[in-house]
Amino acid sequence: MDVTRRNAMFMGAGALVAFGLPLRATTADIEAITAFTGGAEMADTGVTLTAPEIAENGNTVPIEVSSPGASEIMVLALGNPTPSVATFGFGALAASHAASTRIRLAGTQDVVAIAKLEDGSFAKATSTVKVTIGGCGG
């Protein structure tokens, strides 16, 4: 059966994924971001998010965040039913302000990392991770 893997990958992900469209942020995500930043502007540099362009397995996608000046880094998967992934805190004695983990993605979507820097400002990085049934290589 050709459909098994796809069914398994997209089971329960709803009509949006069934049409192959990227999953979009909801009001709840925006509220979560506002709660973290207090509505402050976010710079484009200052935090690095490393994620695959295309997930090898949507159920376990390796990501890494780093921000040398961060006290906290929040990670969101904007298209997931529960977008909140993790918030990493770094103390004054932390040797490296980086963390890596694996996350589950319901479909193609943006993953966002927001760093709260020690000077009180915020930085944001976004990466689109595609969850696909795959094509046929050359």
Interface positions with other proteins (CB under 8 A): 1-5, 18-22, 50, 52-54, 56-57, 62, 100, 108, 128, 130, 132-138
Q: Is 34 or 128 the residue whose CB approaches other proteins more closely? A: 128
CA distance 106 to 131: 8
Q: Is 1 or 92 the residue whose CB approaches other proteins more closely? A: 1
Q: Is 8 or 35 the residue whose CB approaches other proteins more closely? A: 8
Sheet bearing 84-89, strands edge to edge? 42-43, 122-129, 109-117, 70-77, 84-89
What minimum distance in Å lies between the beta carbon of 108 and other proteins?
8
Q: Position of tokens 């998967």?
A: 77
What minimum distance in Å lies between the beta carbon of 15 and other proteins?
10
At 37 the three-state DSSP class reads helix
Reference 100, options 31, 49, 32; nearest CA is 49
What minimum distance in Å lies between the beta carbon of 77 and other proteins?
18
CA distance 72 to 42: 14
Q: Is 3 or 95 the residue whose CB approaches other proteins more closely? A: 3
